[in-house]
Amino acid sequence: MESEFSNELREKEAGLEKRLMLAKEEAKKEADRLRWENESLKEEVKRAREARVKLEREAQELLQQAEDHYKNELDKNVGDLKKQAKSKKGIFTTIGNILDTPIIDTKKHKEDDPLE
């Protein structure tokens, strides 16, 4: 009876050790997979940050170009208005011309429109 109990206890112990080893192997595999996934995500975040910085830089350059273009157009139109104001007499005529003249020409030119 005692030997039977000992054998049964050894079998259970061997089964538990086997299950423990399998669990350790599975845990190690899972840890390796998570470690690899973590590294991949870090690299992806780094690339995304670099792309965001590049986009922000390009957007800033485009905004600067647009601002420069706007200032140039504004200066050009103000110069045209001053020329018109000098050539025409009368304060009401000059004020009317200034108010009637757009600062930026938003109309399409016929040579720019490919449909016409």
20-76: pLDDT as tens digits:
999 999 999 999 999 999 999 999 999 999 999 999 999 999 999 999 999 999 998
Q: What percent of the chain has a predicted confidence (pLDDT) above 70? A: 83
Give pTM, 2 decimals: 0.49
> Which structural domain range is residue 37 located in?
2-100
Q: How many domains does the chain have?
A: 1
The reply to whether 25 falls in a domain is yes
The reply to whether 45 falls in a domain is yes
Average pLDDT over the chain reads 85
Tell me what pLDDT residue 85 has. 65
Tell me what pLDDT residue 77 has. 87
Q: Where are the alpha helices (DSSP H) in the chain?
A: 2-87, 91-100
How confident is residue 5, by pLDDT bands cut at 50, 70 and 90?
confident
Tokens of residue 87, six digits? 């050539």
Residue 81 near residue 101 (C-beta atoms within 8 A): yes
The reply to whether 115 falls in a domain is no
The reply to whether 84 falls in a domain is yes
The reply to whether 116 falls in a domain is no
Widest pairwise Cα distance in the chain: 128
Tell me what pLDDT residue 18 has. 94
Question: What mean pLDDT is predicted for residues 80-102?
Answer: 73
